[in-house]
Amino acid sequence: MKKRTNARQRLNTVHLEPGLVLKIMRRLFSRKNDYGPEPDSELIQDLAQFGISDRGRFQALMKRHRRILIASDRARLSVKEQQLYIEVFGASVVRDAVRRRYWYAYPALIRSAMEFEFGPAAEKRE
């Protein structure tokens, strides 16, 4: 006898792709963090290495760490950090980020959640 699955269970087994990741992030986090590069296939592969390969697991990961991610995103940048980021991103971008109290784009929030969940093994190495 086959076990029946409801619509939510079927929805949670949908394989991750960049568009789905973006849709989930837009539902869970502020639109002001929706800048910079969109989640890409490399990020999807990195998630899959830790067993996060479907909608349900990804959404659970992001919800589990949502509060700490939002808190770290809204934390004030030190003057030293601001100076460093001005050199990289320009003064207008940093001024806007400081004024509106955001910093991380969606891919950075995802990578931070991976680091919280899986520790140093999840740190991206260049």
pLDDT digits (tens, 9 = 90+) for 81-120: 889 989 988 899 888 888 888 889 999 999 999 999 999 8
Full domain range(s) for residue 49: 14-75+103-122
Average pLDDT along the chain: 90
Instruction: Determine, yes or no, domain membership for 94.
Output: no
Rounded to whole angstroms, the Cα distance separating 55 from 32 reads: 23
* SS3 at position 106: helix
Instruction: Determine, yes or no, domain membership for 23.
Output: yes
Instruction: Determine, yes or no, domain membership for 96.
Output: no
Total count of domains within the chain: 1
Rounded to whole angstroms, the Cα distance separating 7 from 84 reads: 48
Instruction: Determine, yes or no, domain membership for 117.
Output: yes
Instruction: Determine, yes or no, domain membership for 85.
Output: no
| pLDDT tens for each residue of 29-87 | 999 899 888 889 999 999 999 999 999 999 999 999 999 999 999 998 888 988 998 99
